[in-house]
Amino acid sequence: MKSKGEFIVILTLLLGILAGCGGGNSTANSGNSQSGTAVDPATTGTETAAANAGGKTTVQFWHSLGGKNGEYMDALIQRFNESHNDIEVVGTYQGGYDETVTKLQQAVASNTAPDVSMLERAYVLMFADSDVLEDLTPFMEKSGLSADDFTSGLMGHSYFNDKLVSLPLNRSTPILHINKSMLDELGLAVPTTWDELKTVANALVVKEGKEVKRYGLSMPYDTWYPIAMISQSGGKFFNDEKTSPGFIDNGIGKEVFSYLKDLQSTGALYYPPAQDSGNIVNSMFVEGKIGMMFQSTGSIGGLSSSVDFDYVTAFLPKNDVYANPTGGANVALMAGSSNKEAAWEFIRWMETDPQGGLQFILQSGYLPFTKKMVESPEIQDLWAKEPNRKVAYDQLQYAIDTNNDVAWPEVMHEFFSTIEAVMYDSQDIQAALDAFNKETERILAE
Amino acid sequence: MRKGSPLVKIFDWRSLASVLGVLLKAAVVMVFIFPFLWMISTSLQTLRETLAFPPTWIPAVPQWNNFVEAMSAGPFLMYARNSVVITVSIIVLQFAVMIPAAYAFAKYRFRGKSVLFGFVLLAFMIPGQITFIPVYLLMADFGLIHSLWPQIIPFMSNAFGIFLLRQYFMQIPEEIIEAARLDNAGAIKVIWRIMLPMAGPALATIALFSFVSHWNEYFWPLVMTNSEAIRPLTLGIAMLRETEGISNWHIIMAGNVVLVVPILLVYAFCSRHIVKAFVYSGIK
């Protein structure tokens, strides 16, 4: 080394910079009751005080609503804050459903979780199993509410070990979307059974040589639709003991996928590529390249304003029975919250006040989730104007969720692999299902 | 080049190669530029046009209003300010750490040098997806979760920058430094007066790469921020997506155009130096 002095100079320089950067650190607690409208964050590393100047209690609410629905949710929160002098709700978008779950997991671990969070319904049980969701039963009793006040088809993911751990919020369900003009041209009626669906879907196919120019039916790449079809055939995704899939030994899985492969082979079914499949099928439906599709009720609003043909919705056709799973998200009170009373007041207001969830449902097109909401003149008016939305609600009488289990998020990945193996790679259906069966039993045994 | 071969033959071979070269370059340019053109086109379409299949290439009437709608969907000025503060802070801090480090690695001999340099290279190879949970917990412990720091501190050191700059410094002849030392110049003066002016292209390259990667960062700010006030532009634009139903691609793409413009500006300033930097350092 040429000069020890020079080396020390450089080392000091390095350390000095490191130390300088740590300068703004404070030892403030990482509490979760903190104002979202922080002071200039660029100039300070400290947290703002928990309580606002006016003595308001701050309630942090995490949600997954972007785009227009995000704006409707912001408006809901604003209405709440304007009508409550003592509570300030800060709503924050935390990415899509899956991203919100990831964030919630790390936030719970580090004590930075919000008071209230939106949770995609399939993840509710996973969080409840970790004891991080508050039992809402006592709050409900105090507010004079009962589980019977809610739309029963949407309560499938609300209970865990007899505790009420979440309430429905932005919920949807798969439904059959139909280009009625296309069916009318050929004198076809809206299908109500699998057999009719097959006939109609095949009749709609237009081919030029070997190339299919128009398909009869499509659906996004998702577990939702095969699960719907399993229920329609009288199967359950998990057996009652939650030890094994409930649709493989009885041959139902094979029936469902054989039906789909059969349609696919004639061009009656277009099964889209996995990436962005929802947008692809929507585009093709709007363009008249597909006559019918299984798709979320969440698309009704966008489709209604985009199509230039007679667009109607109908129940998913039945095989043995009518059946459909539900989707979307619930709202939950986090057990770690230090403002549970205020947080509950927000949930209660959002669920039941006419200025709360009702307005959001009217604007967004999600399903009404309380009986009062359904009976309200606003919803009745909307349904009179847009019968497509009423169909979506009416179908809820057949709602059934048979994939309720703590292990679902993990099993879901396996089921996606099975769908890929069958729909894309045309593997032997029974072999693919047997492989799925084995993996699922292993996961459920853990 | 082979001397002595027939002149005509060389000429033919060269012209063929140059034509092929141009075609290949054009193809590569198309591959890279195509998504940008599509983004710009989509940002000017109506919702109906974005849904069209086959896709619409040229919108019938350019919808400039998409930009207004995108920018009024949230506090975009605040997001933009956060993006600028984060990116500029990162680059300034990186230079403060990187320059002395690269100088030490290039021009000093000390015990454990190769091991330490090995650590620097190792830092290259660990993706953020592995470190984000421990870093988040650490930042939460420090009480920094509601500040911009979690988006800045983890990126203070830039392994690629140290590597590139070290290669650059190593090529600067020892004699020049010796001469400076004879004139009583200390380490800082040597760096400031000799090393940095000669490493201009490398510095420009590092600054640009660093700017692009941190300006575009999505995953890290998503997992590190829980409140609006500290979020960068990328998250603001992601918020334009619909959770369910039909995505407003025209609005999202308008947001993306706004996101990309600063990168193009910075590139315009730095591009001159970049090729030079790679040629100099022997990395091609």
Closest CA to A74 of A31, A108, A36, A107: A36
Mean pLDDT calculated for residue range A92-114: 92
Closest CA to A151 of A296, A330, A323, A299: A330
Distances (CA, A) of A322 to A233, A314, A398: 9, 11, 6
Q: What is the pTM of this model?
A: 0.82
Residue A284: closest CA among chain B residues belongs to which residue?
A: B53
Closest CA to A296 of B82, B246, B184: B246
Instruction: Give the containing element (helix H, strand E) for A356.
Output: none
**Mean pLDDT for chain A?**
88
Q: Which residue has the higher pLDDT, A27 or B241?
A: B241
Task: Tell me the shortest Cα–Cα distance from A137 to chain B, in angstroms.
Answer: 29
**Is-contact A292 A238, C-beta < 8 A?**
no
CB count, 10 Å around CB of A308?
A: 9
Which superfamily is assigned to A174-325+400-445 in CATH? Answer: Periplasmic binding protein-like II (3.40.190.10)
Residue B178, amino acid: E
Would you give the end-to-end CA distance of chain A in angstroms?
59
Residue A29: closest CA among chain B residues belongs to which residue?
A: B143
Which residues in chain B are contacts of A25 at CB distance < 8 A?
Answer: 142-144, 149
Q: Report the relative pairing of strands A269-270 and A245-246 from DSSP bridges.
A: unpaired
User: pLDDT digits over A292-325, tens only?
Assistant: 999 999 889 888 888 999 999 999 999 999 999 9
Q: Do A112 and B145 touch (CB under 8 A)?
A: yes
User: pLDDT digits over B39-53, tens only?
Assistant: 999 999 988 888 777
Would you call the peptide bond into B54 cis, given omega within 30 degrees of 0 as the criterion?
Answer: yes
Q: Do B52 and A42 touch (CB under 8 A)?
A: no
What is the ipTM score, two decimals? 0.80
Instruction: Give the containing element (helix H, strand E) for A216.
Output: strand A211-218
- How far, rounded to the nearest angstrom, does the alpha carbon of residue B26 sit from its chain's CA centroid? 24
What is the per-residue pLDDT for B74? 85
The Cα A238–Cα A405 span in angstroms is 8
Q: Could you tell me the residue ranges of all domains in chain B?
A: 7-43, 74-280
Q: Could you tell me the residue ranges of all domains in chain A?
A: 57-172+327-375, 174-325+400-445
Tokens in use for B102? 């690269």
Q: Report the relative pairing of strands A57-63 and A87-93 from DSSP bridges.
A: parallel
Task: Tell me the shortest Cα–Cα distance from B134 to chain A, in angstroms.
Answer: 9
Q: Which residue has the higher pLDDT, B245 or B181?
A: B181
Instruction: Give the containing element (helix H, strand E) for A175.
Output: strand A174-179
Would you give the end-to-end CA distance of chain B in angstroms?
20
Q: Establish whether domains A57-172+327-375 and A174-325+400-445 are of one fold.
A: yes
Helix (H, G, I), strand (E, B) or coil at A423: helix
pLDDT level of residue A432 (50, 70, 90 thresholds): very high
What is the per-residue pLDDT for B7? 54
The Cα B239–Cα A84 span in angstroms is 27
Query: Which ranges in A205-339 belong to alpha helices (H)?
Result: 224-232, 252-266, 277-286, 300-306
The Cα B247–Cα A192 span in angstroms is 29
Tokens in use for B125? 């190879």
What is the per-residue pLDDT for A20? 35
pLDDT level of residue A157 (50, 70, 90 thresholds): confident
The Cα A232–Cα A28 span in angstroms is 55
Strand-pair partners of A211:
A208
Query: Which ranges in A186-327 belong to alpha helices (H)?
Result: 194-204, 224-232, 252-266, 277-286, 300-306
CATH 3.40.640.10 fits A57-172+327-375, yes or no: no
Burial of A42 (0-12, 13-18, 19+ CB in 10 A): middle
B246: nearest CB among A41, A46, A282: A282
Tokens in use for A259? 């039906």
**Is-contact B218 B4, C-beta < 8 A?**
no
- How far, rounded to the nearest angstrom, does the alpha carbon of residue B232 sit from its chain's CA centroid? 16
Number of alpha carbons in the 13 Å side-chain half-sphere of residue B143: 18
DSSP state of A188: P
pLDDT level of residue B280 (50, 70, 90 thresholds): low
pLDDT level of residue B15 (50, 70, 90 thresholds): confident
Q: Do A24 and B149 touch (CB under 8 A)?
A: yes
What is the per-residue pLDDT for A50? 44
The Cα A87–Cα A339 span in angstroms is 10
Q: Do A67 and B241 touch (CB under 8 A)?
A: yes
pLDDT level of residue A160 (50, 70, 90 thresholds): very high
Which residues in chain A are contacts of B108 at CB distance < 8 A?
Answer: 1-2, 6-7, 10
Q: Is the dihedral of CA B141, A36, B234, B267 positive or negative?
A: negative
Count of residues in chain B: 284
Q: Which residue has the higher pLDDT, A23 or B141?
A: B141
pLDDT level of residue A27 (50, 70, 90 thresholds): very low
CA angle A217, A220, A225 (to 5 degrees): 80
pLDDT of A51 strictly over 50:
no
Probe site for chain A from B78, B130, B244, B251 (most A CB atoms < 10 A): B244
**Is-contact B71 B258, C-beta < 8 A?**
yes
Residue A325, amino acid: P
**Is-contact B152 B86, C-beta < 8 A?**
yes
Helix (H, G, I), strand (E, B) or coil at A245: strand
- Write out the DSSP string of A13-32: HHHHHHHHHGGG-------S
**Is-contact A191 A199, C-beta < 8 A?**
yes
Separate counts of helices (H) and strands (E) for chain B: 14, 0
**Mean pLDDT for chain B?**
87
**Is-contact A87 A56, C-beta < 8 A?**
yes
Crossing angle of helices A408-423 and A429-445, in 10° steps, is 170
Closest CA to A30 of B149, B86, B220: B149
User: pLDDT digits over B72-84, tens only?
Assistant: 888 999 999 999 9
Q: Do A282 and B51 touch (CB under 8 A)?
A: yes
φ/ψ (deg, to 5) at B46:
-85, 165
Instruction: Please give the interface size between A and B, counted as residue pairs whose CB atoms are below 8 Å apart.
Output: 182
What is the per-residue pLDDT for B278? 61
Q: Is A209 left (phi over 0), alpha (psi -120 to 50) or beta?
A: left
**Is-contact A262 A353, C-beta < 8 A?**
no
Tokens in use for B70? 């995108």
Mean pLDDT calculated for residue range A143-150: 95
pLDDT of A112 strictly over 50:
yes
Q: Do A6 and B227 touch (CB under 8 A)?
A: no
Q: Do A66 and B240 touch (CB under 8 A)?
A: yes
User: pLDDT digits over B83-97, tens only?
Assistant: 999 999 999 999 999
Mean pLDDT calculated for residue range A168-183: 96
pLDDT above 90 covers what percent of chain A?
76
DSSP state of B243: S
User: pLDDT digits over A180-234, tens only?
Assistant: 999 999 999 999 999 999 999 999 999 998 889 999 999 999 999 999 999 999 9
What is the per-residue pLDDT for B283? 47
The Cα A123–Cα A120 span in angstroms is 6
A112: nearest CB among B104, B226, B249: B226
Helix (H, G, I), strand (E, B) or coil at A407: coil
The Cα A307–Cα A310 span in angstroms is 8
User: pLDDT digits over A224-260, tens only?
Assistant: 999 999 999 999 999 999 999 999 999 999 999 999 9
Instruction: Give the containing element (helix H, strand E) for A174.
Output: strand A174-179
Burial of A114 (0-12, 13-18, 19+ CB in 10 A): buried
Separate counts of helices (H) and strands (E) for chain A: 18, 15
Number of alpha carbons in the 13 Å side-chain half-sphere of residue A274: 9
pLDDT level of residue A349 (50, 70, 90 thresholds): very high
pLDDT of B282 strictly over 60:
no
Class of B74-280 in CATH = mainly alpha
**Is-contact A174 A367, C-beta < 8 A?**
no
